Structure 1
Amino acid sequence: MTFRTEYPRPQFVRQKWLNLNGVWDFAFDDEKKGTEEKWFKEHSTAFNQQINVPFAYQTKLSGIEDSTFHDFVWYRRQFEVPASWQGQRVVLHFGAVDYRAWVYVNEQLVGFHEGGHVSFQFDITDYLQGGKETLVVRVEDPSTDETIPRGKQFWVEKSDAIWYTRTTGIWQTVWIEPVSPIHLKKLKFTPNVDEGEVIVECEVDGNYAEAKVEMEILFKGERIAKELFELQEPYHRHSINLFNRKIFRTSFHNDGWAWTPENPNLFDVKVSLLQGDSVMDELQSYFGMRKVHTENGMVYLNNRPYYQKLVLDQGYWPEGLLTAPTDEDLKMDIELAKEMGFNGCRKHQKVEDPRFLYWADQLGFLVWGECAASPSYSEDAVALLTKEWIEIVERDYSHPSIVAWVPINESWGVPHIRSNRQQQHHSLAMYHLIHSLDPTRLVISNDGWELTKTDICAVHNYNHGNHDEVAKYEKFKEDLATKEGILHSQPARRGIYANGFAHEGEPILLTEFGGIGFKVDDANGWGYTSVANVEDYLADYRRIMEAIYSSKILFGYCYTQLTDVEQEINGILTYDRKPKCDLKEIKCINEMWHADTI
């Protein structure tokens, strides 16, 4: 059985492609001898297991389910290029491989990639020989290396506290597709809501002489623009004004075409690369007209104050870990969150599958994008995280659902940032780097505490106490009530800003809190506080949210968390997505605050 059969790149869709998910040969290389013994040779006898790609060997769905350390692993499978692709270039794509990958085709090394969270590809045309082709992937995932961005993947074999089982190797779809010798390489959309225009950037690979790009934009099935522009160089930037289109002149102010969680309007795009009378490449994409900025201590969405009701989402599944078993599972998480009255999520310590972002775009769901952190600080860790973020922003830039980037969380990887100037400079460098790559979104410099320069003052506070800890709850409520209370609080015995930095008027949001532990069925684990039954769970949720909504300064929140994860039982849903209570009750509580109170 082949899992994850949907096309994996939703904003760069080609019709012809071949999914390489499914059963592959597999081997552990604990003695690190595979390269020397040439396991990349077609008839190597080293492969003594099979694995179901795209699931890591630690998962049940992989067919192996081994959580012990194996830092080097090998994959092998054969494939055939369809005869109809003859004369085209063949590109091999990987959705994500954690952490380093060496890729061989027909015993030849075609490329190397470092970074466990985003996609990469190689043109393998010159390595193909016709008929059965052999693909081999060698992976290194250092289990205990604290310089690599690993997020919640624990560097000890057994999961504990907030740390979970590791993901090694291929964990997103692998596929091949044909392209012409000249083809579209990149496509990027930047909405300009104030001017009613979308800026399109495209890049082609190959001989672009006499090449043109034709772009057709549709809205709800109706064509609103069709433009043709010549390529003077491989990269082209083009602005398309939408205000000039008659149907949009009067509809902007009622979300007639802007993207919001309540009205997730999207523009479908067909892009054709032409050379002479020939269509050299063709793809489908989409974009949303969405603007986010801060002003007067509030976050604005499309120039209106917008209160964010987020839920912390770790993006783990019991049988697939970081890999959702199906595309429907990604969609369902968003639908369940919206059913509870949340309008977005903070994807915590994970760069999520692009299919999740597709559903967030389609269904209307805000996303704070976050990368896995390195546990320790070093110059190597700085370089690795920086490289990862450049690739993240490039991959996900055009998704309207993403409204913020979170490069650092709770001083992970920068443990001395409070007073260490070097680590403060790293935080500042990440803040400015991301803004230099993406001027359209907010950047939170160190979500939780010890912030440096930041667009949002993002605070974590779990000190609400159990229902009978009245004094603790009152202190929690008092700390959140006013600007002065929040900025002088030290919820984790850490200041809200690092030394030398202070609040500059940016919006204040409570971006981690709650975490009520509630054991359901046979689950065992922990939460920040605990309750014994459904009635107490709902009462405690209401008690905590009343403190949030009574604040005179908070302009949004992120509740911990959507689901249980391994030993954490502080989700509103169980690990397998069963509600712990009537979700209508959660929604009712979440809707105690209304936008018309601004």
Structure 2
Amino acid sequence: MVPAMTVIDAEGAVHPRPQLTRGRHALLDGACGFAFDADDAGIRERWMDDAERFDRTIRLPFSPESAASGIADTGFHPIVWYRIEVTREQLVAAGWPTQGERLFVNFGAVDRIADVWFDGQRVCHHEGGHTAFAFDVTDVIDPDAAIHVLVVRAQDDPFDLEAARGKQDWQESPHSIWYHRSTGIVRSVWLEAVPALHAVAVHWSARPQQHTVGLDLELSRRAAPGTTVSATVSLGGVVLGGAIAEATGDHVLLELSLPALRNGQALEDFVWSPETPVLIDAEIVVEEGGHGDASGSPATGVDRIGSYFGIRSVAVDGRRLLLNDRPFTVRAVLEQGYWPDSHFTAPSEQALREEVELIKRLGFNSVRIHQKIEDPRFLYWCDRLGLCVWSEAPAAYEYTPRAVERFTAEWTRSVRAAASHPSVMVWVPVNESWGLQQISHDPRQRAFSRALADLTRALDDSRPVVSNDGWEHTDSDLATVHDYESSADVLRERYRDHDAVDTLLSGIGPAGRRMGTGLVGKPAILSEFGGIRYDVTGADGTWGYSTVTTATEFDHCLRAVFDAVTGASGLDGFCYTQLTDTEQETNGLCDPARTPKIPEAHIRAMVLGHPLPA
């Protein structure tokens, strides 16, 4: 049995793809050659074959705009190049060469368009700056070479408003609520050897009411006759269930019965929640049969992978949001996922765990990832430590048919990639009409918003969808409101009961925008509020929705708005803006170094609606 804990290696590093792990992989993060291509001359002059063109060194996986990369150049650089040397030792660490196996290069994300060469041969073109991709280099590698060369050309036009960019600024310097850009490689790069027939994606769907879990396993190609897929799941070394089936195509559906769940008195021992984040271990084995496929590719044996999932359900019942069939009050904080020295890439894997631990210590049970598709390793720590996630797409800023095409493709990949994480509780494809600024007047934009909500449900029907968070809803399962009112008395009156909330949802919202349709009678979440500016550095040009100047005043104002919101019977939850100060936004509960501005115990008491500690 391969337990879920094997996603962490002997050095404590989390696998970059934690729900589909194999015995070995080799990270290529670290120092490599780097070059700016201001004149877009690299392809014409064949930089992929010229090591001297790479006149700088960058540290992966950090963007060149960040100090952590060693470059720290925040100017406009739409095209950048990387030259990564791969050693024999790294190939061996990845499990290659092994007879009959294939060598793959994996990228966690490259912002935004990547063209890749391996040993001088072009092997990949990928578009989409927020999703992972992989490609096979087996047929172009020279097995006798001491050093192999991986070259990446990344293109990210800072003025392209049709591409999903989230909080990345289109101006040279950050302004208002936007931050420095992150160009090129922004997540880990790694090597992995796999059988010719292997799993490329794992999708779990737990159904606790039916005492089952479904497995949808995507394969690299159509399986040969006689190929079998088996799955065994366990908790604490005790087998809970298993299934085996013959693979007749390029994906396999398995239904695993979990008899232990039939004992209703013991069910709580198996379900995932923030209080009890139980993870079920899984081992999946793909065993190829016959003599290969119709193209003549040989049968290569066994692909053995480790995975995990959580057993839990999310539903909406009238005005209540339910987790595991019980009312769940959302206590969330807005998270930008941005660090001063490393920007949209965490400075270390440990920082991802510490971020989750900090959020939980402050009393929150949920986090709203804002305008960003987060690293799967962050989701792993949310899964393992127990933190619910609202997954929100990074927006484009212009509505065009090409923007629709790009966004739909990347959101589809993002939902598929994250849907098996038990911590992910709510999908948010659009925020505050970003990229759909004329949604109230343009029927095409309204149609796209509705289509995105239904597309999300078609990909995953196990979670609520918010069609447009904050206002101008078109087809949402939750009624979410953004309200930065600083007066606690106004907040208390505005959300005092269901009648008051229904009145608000039926008309113009606090931001002066129409609230949208179909919201009355649904769970109401104040999904952005607060935003109190308290700049502990005293710097000029910082920003927030309201301002205080001392820690005492911050403590007092924070307590007032939290008291108003946690005591409002018309709400089913809230999300405070925001966790940390970020660039010129100084409205965080913590400073950029993640140090709380007032005692943790005070913030926790406010979030939980408890009296302040003595």
TM bracket, shorter-chain basis = over 0.9
**Could you tell me whether the CA contact under 8 Å between 1:463 and 1:476 is conserved in 2?**
yes
Match of 2:546 among 514, 529, 553: 529
**Could you tell me whether the CA contact under 8 Å between 1:373 and 1:413 is conserved in 2?**
yes
Q: Give the aligned partner of residue 484 of structure 1.
A: 502
**Could you tell me whether the CA contact under 8 Å between 2:491 and 2:565 is conserved in 1?**
no
Q: Give the aligned partner of residue 53 of structure 2.
A: 46
Indicate yes or no: 2:217 matched with 1:199.
no
CA distance in 2, matches of 1:55, 1:252: 46
Counterpart amino acid of 1:589? M
Q: Give the aligned partner of residue 263 of structure 2.
A: 249
Q: Among all aligned residue pairs of Structure 1 and Structure 2, give the percentage whose two residues are the same amino acid.
A: 37
- Counting only pairs closer than 5 Å after superposition, residues 374-453 of structure 1 correspond to structure 2 as 374-453=396-475
Q: Give the aligned partner of residue 59 of structure 1.
A: 66
C-alpha distance after superposition, 1:92-149 (max 9, x if no partner):
1000000000011111111111000010011111111122211100010001111100
- Counting only pairs closer than 5 Å after superposition, residues 546-557 of structure 1 correspond to structure 2 as 546-557=563-574
The Cα shift of 1:4 comes to 10
Q: Give the aligned partner of residue 288 of structure 2.
A: 275
**Could you tell me whether the CA contact under 8 Å between 1:67 and 1:166 is conserved in 2?**
yes
The Cα shift of 1:447 comes to 0.3
The Cα shift of 1:510 comes to 0.3
The Cα shift of 1:205 comes to 2.3
SS at match of 1:557: strand
**Could you tell me whether the CA contact under 8 Å between 2:242 and 2:256 is conserved in 1?**
no
CA distance in 2, matches of 1:427, 1:227: 39
Q: Give the aligned partner of residue 474 of structure 1.
A: 489
Q: Give the aligned partner of residue 154 of structure 1.
A: 169
Structure 1's unaligned 5+ residue stretches are 466-472
**Could you tell me whether the CA contact under 8 Å between 2:233 and 2:280 is conserved in 1?**
yes
The Cα shift of 1:337 comes to 0.9
Match of 1:514 among 512, 525, 530: 530
- Please provide the CA RMSD for this pair: 1.8
The Cα shift of 1:35 comes to 0.8
C-alpha distance after superposition, 1:53-84 (max 9, x if no partner):
10000001100001000000000111135356
**Could you tell me whether the CA contact under 8 Å between 1:477 and 1:547 is conserved in 2?**
yes
CA distance in 2, matches of 1:521, 1:22: 32
Q: Give the aligned partner of residue 584 of structure 1.
A: 601
CA distance in 2, matches of 1:109, 1:449: 46
The Cα shift of 1:273 comes to 1.6
TM-score using structure 2 length? 0.91
Q: Give the aligned partner of residue 368 of structure 1.
A: 390
The Cα shift of 1:252 comes to 4.8
Indicate yes or no: 2:589 matched with 1:575.
no
C-alpha distance after superposition, 1:557-589 (max 9, x if no partner):
110001110111111111111111111111111
Indicate yes or no: 2:313 matched with 1:299.
no
- The farther-off stretch of 528-537 and 148-157 is 528-537
Counterpart amino acid of 1:14? R
Structure 2's unaligned 5+ residue stretches are 1-10, 291-299
Counterpart amino acid of 1:236? V
**Could you tell me whether the CA contact under 8 Å between 2:527 and 2:576 is conserved in 1?**
yes
**Could you tell me whether the CA contact under 8 Å between 2:195 and 2:301 is conserved in 1?**
no
Match of 1:79 among 81, 86, 89: 86
C-alpha distance after superposition, 1:144-163 (max 9, x if no partner):
11110001000000101101
Q: Give the aligned partner of residue 28 of structure 1.
A: 36
Match of 2:137 among 124, 134, 143: 124
Q: Give the aligned partner of residue 566 of structure 1.
A: 583
Counterpart amino acid of 1:62? S
Q: Give the aligned partner of residue 187 of structure 2.
A: 172
**Could you tell me whether the CA contact under 8 Å between 1:292 and 1:303 is conserved in 2?**
yes
Match of 1:454 among 443, 467, 476: 476
TM-score using structure 1 length? 0.94
CA distance in 2, matches of 1:64, 1:216: 47
CA distance in 2, matches of 1:563, 1:127: 46
**Could you tell me whether the CA contact under 8 Å between 1:5 and 1:19 is conserved in 2?**
no
**Could you tell me whether the CA contact under 8 Å between 2:567 and 2:609 is conserved in 1?**
no
Indicate yes or no: 2:349 matched with 1:332.
no
- The farther-off stretch of 420-429 and 547-556 is 547-556
SS at match of 1:316: coil
- The farther-off stretch of 528-537 and 271-280 is 271-280
**Could you tell me whether the CA contact under 8 Å between 2:168 and 2:179 is conserved in 1?**
yes
The Cα shift of 1:405 comes to 0.7
**Could you tell me whether the CA contact under 8 Å between 2:199 and 2:303 is conserved in 1?**
yes
Counterpart amino acid of 1:227? A
CA distance in 1, matches of 2:237, 2:317: 35
- Aligned length in residues: 578
SS at match of 2:68: coil
Counterpart amino acid of 1:582? P
The Cα shift of 1:352 comes to 0.3
CA distance in 2, matches of 1:249, 1:279: 39
Indicate yes or no: 2:522 matched with 1:503.
no
C-alpha distance after superposition, 1:462-493 (max 9, x if no partner):
0224xxxxxxx433332222223432352111
- The farther-off stretch of 278-287 and 183-192 is 278-287
The Cα shift of 1:300 comes to 0.4
CA distance in 1, matches of 2:138, 2:538: 52
The Cα shift of 1:183 comes to 1.3
- The farther-off stretch of 348-357 and 210-219 is 210-219
